Structure 1
């Protein structure tokens, strides 16, 4: 047996024991503000903060985060809510960038008192919606948004690989 053959066998055995890389594209969240003062700068800032928070949580669990440039997302988006409602278009966008899954997100704000982080998790391979994820966030406080992102990461992980370890209630991981 040659060294090359032995190395190939050893590498093959090692790859059997390691979990497959799961690649998730997280699109920028869109704001759906139904309040009497929609689209205020604080809400836009909160909405922009969700993707990086969620990406950080999932990356900490070993998921590979696939970056899709905002221009590519905008080009694929046929209007407000289009990618959220069209799993085929979201899956195609994810396929172009090598993702296994795409999370299309929305911050739905029906009231000044609370908002919902909503996400559609789409399997790219067969363009299937595998999860409609909703997490409530009461108030605009940045810590509450972080906890909602952690909760969403936990729900996403529950649909995929079950390897995320969320912080206990009242605690957040340092970022």
Structure 2
């Protein structure tokens, strides 16, 4: 009898200490290119690569990634930057697909030399912006974008559950 009680106690402690499932929707990043040659194909491709890389990093830390179809995202978006600037609209979109949090992202490129990966992290439950997260990326090469995404994932995780461990410098996870 005592053994059953101890086993039951161990299982209940394990369930209390295990992190609850955190469901996060990551919307496709939008490109805000302020350079003299905006919207070149390489920048569009780089911008499109951010969401899947970020989803992979957060999934590796145990987050459940909620997929919101592009059509639903576009339908909820009142124009360029709308969801980025309206946490309530982003939260409503996340609620429709069962997310706890929504990350609305932007690649802000003020120069040819660097760009910023920006994310607004919205808590769906109370429709509140809980994180304005920014990471700098110097140069457009794939490895630098990957490192910036890892940094972004680390900062997002710092606001949420603190379970992500980025790879050490120079040791990005292979894709």
Taking structure 2 as the reference length, the TM-score comes to 0.92
Task: Tell me how far 1:16 sits from its aligned partner.
Answer: 2.8
Count the aligned residue pairs: 170
- CA distance in structure 2 between the aligned counterparts of 1:29 and 1:126, rounded to whole angstroms: 23
How do 1:53-72 and structure 2 match up within 5 A? 53-72=53-72
Unaligned runs of 5+ in 2: 1-7
**Corresponding position of 1:85:** 85
Cα deviation, 1:40-72, whole Å, max 9, x if unaligned, reads: 000000000000000000000000000000000
Q: Which runs of 4+ in 1 moved over 2 A?
A: 8-18
- CA distance in structure 2 between the aligned counterparts of 1:155 and 1:10, rounded to whole angstroms: 33
- CA distance in structure 1 between the aligned counterparts of 2:111 and 2:13, rounded to whole angstroms: 54
- State the Cα RMSD in Å: 1.8
**Corresponding position of 1:5:** none
- CA distance in structure 2 between the aligned counterparts of 1:14 and 1:141, rounded to whole angstroms: 43
- CA distance in structure 2 between the aligned counterparts of 1:9 and 1:169, rounded to whole angstroms: 41
- CA distance in structure 1 between the aligned counterparts of 2:146 and 2:14, rounded to whole angstroms: 36
Task: Tell me how far 1:173 sits from its aligned partner.
Answer: 1.0
Cα deviation, 1:78-109, whole Å, max 9, x if unaligned, reads: 00000000000000000000000000000000
Task: Tell me how far 1:11 sits from its aligned partner.
Answer: 7.2
How do 1:159-170 and structure 2 match up within 5 A? 159-170=159-170
Task: Tell me how far 1:169 sits from its aligned partner.
Answer: 1.2
- SS of 1:168's equivalent in the other structure is coil
**Corresponding position of 2:15:** 15
